[in-house]
Amino acid sequence: MADPARSDLILVLNAGSSSLKFALFTPALAEHLTGQAESIGGPGRLKIGARSASCDLPDHGAALAAILEALATRGITASHLKAVAHRVVHGGVRLTAPVRITPATRSEIAACSALAPLHNPHNLAAIDRITALMPDVPQCASFDTAFHASNPEVALRYGLPDTAETAGLRRYGFHGQSYAAMVDSWSRVTGAALPDRLLAFHLGSGASICAIRDGRSVATTMGYSPLEGLTMATRSGSIDGNAVLKLAEDHGIARARRILNNESGLAGLSGGLSDMRTLMASDRPEAGFAVDHFVYWAVRHASSLLAPLGGTETIAFTGGIGENAAEIRARIVAGLHWIGAEIDPEANAEGQTALHSAASATGIYIIPAEEERMLAADALRVLGA
């Protein structure tokens, strides 16, 4: 139950294509309560803290209503909120820092919906619902693409002519909130200063790598959309544009889009298995090949990022696979042995923060993903400014 005297909680909303996560934080960024609505679009499930219940969740509006109602039963209403912070996937070229939601910034987010059709409309739905229900509560937004706005223009531009036909076709990069949170929490988690050159792996159902120099992104593997880069749970990763055109010519654009985004990656290579834990436990040859493919392309892309980074002193893993799959970490580090990276098998098996052996020339760490905490911190900074 909320302390009725409190009016300083930050509600963080993180809308995905079929889920809506929330977290409540104090101004000291202590986690107060978390939960999520999942399987949105039909019979869903609402988890609040340790409790879970089935409920009908036809759309994101219904999911947010269910979350707010559940919070109200715990004594948490608009009067307890200092702000609502939203994760917005795409900020385009203009929204490159956290902002307070105003009619103007809302319009900018809406203008980016074509770039993230599975996410930005849901982000806007949550913003609009909060505006209607809690008009006096400030709202802020942070953008997944913003962290990579510091990439040089040569990294962001595709080799396309600058015409009206190609407007908006550039690399934006994603998982920015995860990488920003890693930079923000580094000293607190490791007890050491942020390294000058950091090769960061965000490995989960969506996967990417980021080259971070002096706390800023200088290159990343995802591009115009989250499809580019590594092999992922259901996304193909990088693929020749003419192969994409061939799929579209033979099967239509909608079918090609579904193949590339929903039926490829680990699922496509293994014959339907997209969860890394299931793949690693399977004795099917296709499952083993899918894991090999994931590791090979992670190492290959990581190696290519060392050039713009100018080498690295430190490697870090985050995300569901990055934090929990010891075998995957070990295999990726083994593939980077040529830069002097050497993992400590015992530390890796135990999932310790520091994973490098005494002989390693490269520090190797696990940094827990703290995207929601970063969103709350962003909101506090925006409101303070």
Q: Return the active site residues.
A: 144
- Known binding residues for Mg(2+) are 14, 371
CA-nearest of 349, 331, 337 to 291 is 331
Give the distance from CA 259 to its chain's centroid.
Answer: 22
- Known binding residues for ATP are 21, 202-206, 275-277, 320-324
State the Cα–Cα distance between residues 139 and 131, nearest whole angstrom: 8
- Known binding residues are 14, 21, 87, 202-206, 275-277, 320-324, 371
Burial category of 253 from C-beta neighbours within 10 Å (exposed 0-12, middle 13-18, buried 19 and up): exposed
In the numeric block, which tokens belong to residue 314?
């430190």
- Known binding residues for substrate are 87
Give the distance from CA 228 to its chain's centroid.
Answer: 14
Give the distance from CA 85 to its chain's centroid.
Answer: 16
| Strands ordered across the beta sheet of 51-57 | 51-57, 42-48, 31-38, 19-25, 9-15, 81-88, 139-143, 99-100
Q: Percent helix, strand, coil in the chain (nearest 5)?
A: 45, 20, 35
Question: Positive or negative CA dihedral for 219, 220, 225, 231?
Answer: positive
Helices 253-262, 241-251: crossing angle, 10 deg rounding: 130
SS (H, E, C) 48-116: ECCEEEEEEECCHHHHHHHHHHHHHHCCCCHHHEEEEEEEECCCCCCCCCCEECCHHHHHHHHHCHHHC
State the Cα–Cα distance between residues 150 and 39, nearest whole angstrom: 35
Phi/psi class of residue 377: alpha, beta or left (left: φ > 0; alpha: ψ in -120 to 50)?
alpha
CA-nearest of 277, 265, 268 to 327 is 277
Q: Are 328 and 351 in contact (CB under 8 A)?
A: no
